[in-house]
Amino acid sequence: MIVTSTKRLIISKVTLNDAPFFVELMNTPSWLKYIGDRNIKSVKDAKSHLKNGILKSYQESGYGFYKVAQKIEPDKAIGIVGLVKRKELEHTDIGFGFLPDYEGKGFGFESSIAIMGLAKNIFKLEKVCAITNPKNKSSIHLLEKLDFSFEKKVKPFDDGKELLLFAKDLL
């Protein structure tokens, strides 16, 4: 189901059929380096991860992560972008991740602008935050282009790793 589209991209809801794509995405070098190894090594792992994560988020929050494809190749997922309400953070956060061949082409910015539009106009969020590894220059650069401001350093998860918290008011 298509959620929104941009000049070059189609953004749609994830289904269990996308499990093989998630195995690929969640094991790319930058994902493993900056987001971490979530131990999604098989289609079975990915299906269970999707059921307990993104698909549950659609039901509980009305939003979640979406897959991104190019209009010129609509059946090939190239990345994900979306919103997630985590119990560890006060506000909903935006996230993004693309396959290596599709980084550095402006797709992160283009898809995130669309998601921020949904966050404000459809989901009526007053504030969106973002967390990122301090060494993830591409992510920080993208957040700054999206007009997010650095708020503070946080350690939201059990692994105790320090992340940077960015935020943007939508009011």
CA-nearest of 35, 40, 46, 98 to 68 is 98
Residue type, 156: P
- Which of 98, 128, 166, 167 forms a contact with ligand COA (CB under 6 A)? 98
Q: Exposed, middle or buried by CB within 10 Å (0-12, 13-18, 19+), for 137?
A: exposed
Work out whether 97 is an interface residue with ligand COA (CB under 6 A).
yes
Output 59 or 145, the one with its CB closest to ligand COA: 145
* Cβ pair 20, 43 in contact under 8 A: yes
Work out whether 96 is an interface residue with ligand COA (CB under 6 A).
yes
Which of the stretches 36-44, 45-53, 90-98, 152-160 binds ligand COA when contact is defined by CB under 6 A?
90-98
Work out whether 109 is an interface residue with ligand COA (CB under 6 A).
yes
Which of the stretches 38-46, 47-55, 59-67, 97-105 binds ligand COA when contact is defined by CB under 6 A?
97-105
CA-nearest of 131, 134, 128, 142 to 165 is 131
x/- letters, 11..30, toward ligand COA (CB under 6 A): -------------------x
- Which of 136, 150, 154, 170 forms a contact with ligand COA (CB under 6 A)? 136
**What whole-number distance in Å separates Cα of residue 117 and Cα of residue 139?**
19
| Nearest distance from C-beta of residue 160 to ligand COA, angstroms | 18
Instruction: Scan for tokens 């550095």, then name that residue.
Output: 104
Work out whether 148 is an interface residue with ligand COA (CB under 6 A).
no
- Which of 36, 106, 117, 134 forms a contact with ligand COA (CB under 6 A)? 106
* Cβ pair 112, 97 in contact under 8 A: no
